């Protein structure tokens, strides 16, 4: 019977795609909708029944079903009659027990009355006539029941599926398809050698010392606990991207020779509710089994962001659950269980304070962008495997890459090798490194990007304007190199400066920086009397800087010493100040920028001759280095004085006031970018 296609699909064995099951359910549903529940009894009319069967005396019994239709059973001995040929046997060639026919009726009462009339008539004709028995029957209507039932079955099936996905981590019978709750951590076990050691990490001596101590905790816990000390549960590596946080964690794994779980914060985050928390649980369960061991969570800010701030984004709940689970797990194991957690982030300011509480990540290891010496050491590490010319000046390379992180330096070394190979050189030379630095800073050189003569002139004066300002403003960054070779997607010219390594900026310094950034546009206005879209990038930076000075660093008299620093974007919808303050901020920002612009124009007008000379030289040579500029317009007036000063006053106490001392975030950052790009839209 067709009802059989109702059968539930088999339980998934191993890798059955869930979509198959959905598909089968769907097909089943459609089949049921389209195939009527055919009864094997043939449908006939009442008249046919009356004349051919009833009056012939062939009927054994009648069953009235649900007062809707009547099933007709033919006497078995009469079935041999040729007129019943069609219904006499089943498809399996046995005698059909019936019902053999059916017909519809309008009402049961009317049917019974009709039957009585016919039967008494028959009785009169033939007194031996045996009246046909009529039985009522209530039967369930499978068709309509199933059409209600099947959607419910489908909904329940989907629901069970999702529940299993969620609960996967706790175990349960599911095969591999239900593995969503398992942690995705990569395990580097004892036997497996991680071939990164501390020797591969250049500089970062303090950080290395700290993590080495952690390795020691794991190896000789007794030594520390004997004196009553508690071993820290975790350490947080904090620093900008590419500074070697992952590298140092890997080195720990290589050195410690204990199992090492590595996972990224974003691996915990899934679309499905509860998955993150169950992954955390699973990770710690595995770790406890393998103790002593190290867990490394990269980009922990993906889950560790402060909780409960954004009222408008509902999606936070899942992340909060994950974070809560992490906190619970960190509290859950004792310090003697031999599991230590390392985590890395470049945004410590957005982390939830509960994570930083003692007893969790109680150690914080700062990893900064490398200074001159650090860069030199990183260069040496990465140059080990590169065939370089013997006269390569590594010190000069380091001094030409201010603001580069370790990852950038690794990139430069690799690029240089590729560039030299393309030129079929036997060894990598200084000029290849120069090109590589340019490429890393400014993108690919566009040899055939066509710019008109007129545009080139504008770019040359624009860049010369920046360069002049940088040269003659005391606190601006001295220029390393200026180029009007188009690079990257949008940059038409670019200049590279040498920012001093410093963490605190005075108002005068920021103001000079602003003027220098305005130099390009001011030069265009002075020389051509018109301005172009080329300054868009500069203006963006200037605006950010001005807002930072007024509203974040409290450097404005009218606003006073207030800061509306908002690292977590809490105030997206509601500003923490009044309308008037907002207006005041806008006013002050505008007047600050206007003042700076006037000053820049005055300076450039005064140095107009140097400006011309630089711009003309640029048009001719396209690239000018510091030395060329010195030859053209003389030595920089402040340089000698400054270098001595900077060396003497390197602030050593920067950890004391780290958040404000190092304006890391994009909105507060006055200048870490050595690049000055000019875009055309
Ligand atoms: P992040 O801090 O973003 O985790 P990584 O550790 O992933 O940075 O560093 C990326 C790459 O940069 C490393 O694989 C390495 O090649 C290079 N690097 C970064 N810092 C250093 C360093 N101090 N010494 C040597 N190489 C480094
Ligand atoms: Zn510019």
How far is ligand 1, taken at its centre, from the CA of residue 201, in Å? Answer: 8
Ligand 1 site-directed mutation target among 194, 244, 440, most atoms within 8 Å of CB: 244
DSSP string, 537-549: HHHHHHHHHHHII
Is 606 in the active site?
no
C-alpha to C-alpha distance for 612 and 596, rounded to whole angstroms? 22
Over residues 598-620, mean pLDDT: 92
Kindly tell me if the per-residue pLDDT of 350 is higher than 60: yes
Q: Which residues pair with 236 in a beta bridge?
A: 343, 364
Q: Dihedral angle at the C-alpha atoms of 269, 274, 276, 277, nearest 10 degrees?
A: 160
How far is ligand 1, taken at its centre, from the CA of residue 206, in Å? Answer: 16
Residue nearest to atom 17 of ligand 1 (CA): 407
Q: Find the residues whose C-beta lies inside 6 A of ligand 1.
A: 201-204, 239, 241-247, 344, 378, 381, 406-407, 410
The tens digit of pLDDT for each residue in 243-266 reads: 888 888 888 877 777 788 888 888
The tens digit of pLDDT for each residue in 380-412 reads: 988 988 888 888 888 888 877 777 888 889 999
Residue 599 confidence class, pLDDT cut points 50, 70, 90: very high
Ligand 1 site-directed mutation target among 253, 410, 664, most atoms within 8 Å of CB: 410
The tens digit of pLDDT for each residue in 39-98 reads: 467 888 888 888 888 888 888 888 888 888 888 888 888 888 888 888 877 777 777 877
Contacts of 292 (CB under 8 A, 6+ apart): 218, 219, 221, 258, 338, 339, 340
The catalytically annotated residue of 463, 524, 588, 664 is 463
Query: How is residue 58 annotated by DSSP?
Result: -
Contact 597, 522 (CB under 8 A): yes
Lowest mean pLDDT, pick from 335-339, 509-513, 551-555: 335-339
Contact 63, 137 (CB under 8 A): yes
C-alpha to C-alpha distance for 493 and 519, rounded to whole angstroms? 14
C-alpha to C-alpha distance for 573 and 249, rounded to whole angstroms? 39
Kindly tell me if the per-residue pLDDT of 652 is higher than 70: no
User: How many distinct helices (H) and strands (E) make up the chain?
Assistant: 24, 15
How far is ligand 2, taken at its centre, from the CA of residue 493, in Å? Answer: 8
Of the candidates 476, 464, 618, 455, the one whose C-alpha atom is nearest the C-alpha of residue 526 is 464
- The atom of ligand 1 lying closest to the CA of 200 is 25
- The atom of ligand 1 lying closest to the CA of 239 is 2
Nearest ligand to the C-alpha atom of residue 675? 2
Mean confidence (pLDDT) of the chain:
77
How far is ligand 2, taken at its centre, from the CA of residue 619, in Å? Answer: 16
Phi, psi of 72, rounded to the nearest 5 degrees: -110, 125
Kindly tell me if the per-residue pLDDT of 592 is higher than 90: yes
Residue 590 confidence class, pLDDT cut points 50, 70, 90: very high
**Residue 182, Cβ density class (10 Å: 0-12 exposed, 13-18 middle, ≥19 buried):** middle
C-alpha to C-alpha distance for 246 and 344, rounded to whole angstroms? 7
How far is ligand 2, taken at its centre, from the CA of residue 520, in Å? Answer: 5
């Amino acid at each position: 019977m067709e009802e059989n296609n109702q059968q539930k699909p088999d339980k998934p064995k191993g890798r059955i795609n869930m979509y198959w099951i959905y598909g089968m359910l769907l097909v089943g549903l459609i089949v049921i909708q389209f195939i009527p529940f055919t009864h094997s009894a043939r449908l006939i009319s009442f008249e046919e029944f009356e004349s051919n069967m009833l009056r012939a005396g062939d009927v054994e019994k009648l069953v009235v079903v649900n007062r809707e239709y009547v099933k007709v059973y033919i006497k078995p001995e009469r079935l041999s009659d040729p007129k019943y040929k069609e219904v006499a046997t089943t498809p399996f060639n046995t005698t059909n027990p019936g019902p053999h026919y059916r017909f519809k009726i309008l009402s049961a009462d009317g049917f019974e009355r009709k039957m009585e009339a016919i039967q008494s008539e028959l009785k009169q004709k033939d007194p031996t006539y045996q009246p046909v028995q009529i039985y009522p029957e209530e039967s369930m209507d499978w068709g309509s029941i199933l059409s209600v039932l099947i959607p419910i079955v489908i909904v329940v099936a989907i629901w069970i599926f999702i529940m299993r996905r969620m609960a996967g981590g706790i175990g349960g019978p599911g095969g591999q398809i239900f593995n969503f709750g398992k942690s995705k951590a990569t395990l580097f076990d004892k036997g497996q050698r991680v071939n990164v050691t501390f020797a591969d990490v250049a500089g970062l001596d303090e950080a290395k010392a700290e993590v080495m101590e952690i390795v020691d905790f794991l190896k000789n816990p007794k030594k520390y606990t004997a004196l009553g000390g508690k071993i820290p549960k975790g350490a947080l590596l904090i620093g900008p991207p590419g500074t070697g946080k992952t590298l140092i964690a890997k080195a720990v794994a290589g050195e410690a020779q204990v199992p090492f779980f590595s996972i990224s914060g974003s691996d915990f985050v899934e679309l499905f509710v509860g998955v993150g928390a169950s992954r955390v649980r699973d990770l710690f369960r595995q770790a406890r089994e393998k103790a002593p061991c190290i867990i490394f969570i990269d980009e922990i800010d993906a889950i560790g962001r402060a909780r409960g701030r954004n009222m408008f984004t509902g999606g936070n709940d899942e992340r909060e659950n994950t974070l809560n689970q992490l906190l619970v797990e960190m509290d859950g194991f004792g310090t003697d269980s031999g599991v230590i957690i390392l985590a890395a982030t470049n945004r410590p300011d957005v982390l939830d304070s509960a994570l930083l509480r003692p007893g969790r990540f109680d150690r914080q290891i700062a990893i900064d962008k490398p200074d001159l010496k650090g860069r030199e050491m990183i260069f040496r590490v990465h140059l080990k495997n590169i065939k370089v010319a013997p006269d390569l000046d590594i010190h000069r390379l380091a001094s030409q890459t201010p603001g580069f992180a370790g990852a950038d330096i690794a990139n430069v070394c690799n690029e240089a090798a590729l560039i030299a190979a393309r030129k079929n050189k036997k060894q990598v030379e200084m000029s290849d490194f120069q090109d590589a630095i340019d490429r890393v800073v400014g993108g690919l050189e566009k040899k055939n990007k066509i710019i008109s003569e007129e545009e080139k002139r504008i770019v040359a004066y624009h860049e010369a304007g920046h360069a002049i300002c940088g040269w003659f403003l005391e606190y601006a960054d001295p220029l390393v190199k200026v180029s009007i070779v188009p690079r990257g997607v949008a940059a038409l010219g670019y200049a590279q400066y040498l920012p001093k390594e410093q963490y605190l900026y005075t108002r005068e310094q920021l103001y000079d920086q602003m003027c220098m950034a305005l130099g390009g546009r001011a030069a265009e206005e002075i020389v051509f009397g018109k301005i172009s879209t080329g300054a868009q990038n500069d203006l963006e930076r200037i605006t950010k800087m001005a807002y930072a000075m007024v509203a974040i660093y409290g450097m404005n008299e009218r606003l006073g010493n207030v800061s509306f620093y908002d690292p977590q974007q809490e105030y997206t919808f509601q500003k923490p100040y009044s309308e008037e303050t907002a207006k005041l901020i806008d006013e002050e920002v505008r007047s600050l920028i206007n003042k700076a612009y006037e000053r820049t124009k005055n300076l450039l007008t005064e140095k107009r001759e140097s400006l011309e000379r630089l711009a003309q030289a640029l048009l001719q040579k396209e690239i000018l280095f510091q030395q060329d500029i010195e030859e053209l317009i003389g030595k920089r007036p402040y340089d000698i004085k400054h270098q001595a000063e900077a060396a003497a006053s390197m602030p050593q106490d920067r950890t004391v006031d780290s958040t404000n001392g190092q304006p890391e975030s994009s909105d507060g950052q006055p200048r870490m970018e050595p690049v000055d790009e000019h875009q055309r839209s």
